[in-house]
Amino acid sequence: MAQSTFFATISRMKYIERWALMRSSRPETLSEHSMEVAMIAHALCILGNVRHGRHLDAEKAALIGLYHDASEIITGDMPTPVKYYNEELQRAYKDVEHVAEKRRLPALDLYYDLLALRESPMRILYLITRQLNQMMLVRKMTAEGLSQDAAAGILNVRPFVARKLLTQARRYRNEELQGFITLALELEEACKSGDLQENMAVELLIFRMTE
C-alpha cells in the first residue's frame, strides 16, 4: 500500500511566510492566512443564511478557505506587484502552480495561452531550466549545512526566493531533478539543431514533470 504524503505536505503551510515585499509588524504564515479566510468565509455564510434567507453551505466555504492557497506550499507566496503586473505574468505564475501540483491539463492550457500571447517557447524552456538548476543548488547547499539566507546570497536571490526554491525542490528526488535538467538541455539542443519544434519541447518537459 502506497504511503500518503498529504499531511506531511499540508503541514508545511506554517513555514511559508506571506507578504515578502511588504513591511509588516509581525510575520504571517500561509497557515494563519488560510485559517482566517476559512473562519471569515464560514461566518459570512452563516450571516447570509440567518439574516438574509440564503441557503449557503458554510462548511464547504470553510473547507475551500482552508485549502484555497495550498499550491503556495510549492511555489511560495507570489508577490502581488509581480504576480499581477500583466496578463502574461499572471498566466505564467498560474502555470507554475499547476505544474507544481502536477496538474498536467491546466498547465498545458496555460502554456498554450502564453503561446497565443506570443511568448517565446525557448524563453519558457530557459526559465524552467534555470529554475531547476537553482532548485538543485539550494538543496545541495542546505544539505551541506549552509543556511537558506547564505544560499540566497550565493545565488544572488532574495531569501524568500531561496525558501521557495527549496520548497519546490522537496517535491522531487535528486535524481528526478537531475533528469529534468538533462532532458531540458537535450530538448534545447534538439530545437537548435532543428530536430524538434520549440513548442513541442516545452510540452514534453511539462509532461515529464507532471507524471
Task: Map residue 29 onto helix, strand or coil.
Answer: strand
171 and 83 in one domain?
yes
Q: How far is CA 150 from CA 85, 125, 142, 155, in A?
A: 29, 28, 9, 9
Range of the domain at 130: 79-211
Choosing from 70, 100, 128, the residue where a domain stops is 70
* Per-residue tens of pLDDT for the chain, all 211 residues: 556 777 877 888 887 877 755 566 778 888 999 999 999 999 999 999 999 999 999 999 999 999 888 877 766 665 555 454 455 556 665 665 666 556 677 777 777 777 777 788 888 888 778 888 888 888 888 888 888 888 888 887 788 888 888 888 888 888 888 888 888 888 888 888 888 888 888 888 888 887 7
Whole-model pTM?
Answer: 0.52
Nearest to 20 by CA among 75, 93, 86: 75
Q: Cell numbers 525542490 correspond to what residue?
A: 169
Dihedral, CA of residue 93, residue 174, residue 142 and residue 161, to nearest 10: -10
95 and 30 in one domain?
no
> Helix count (H) and strand count (E) of the chain?
12, 0
CATH number at residue 94: 1.20.272.10
The cell for 181 is: 535538467
Choosing from 70, 103, 128, the residue where a domain stops is 70
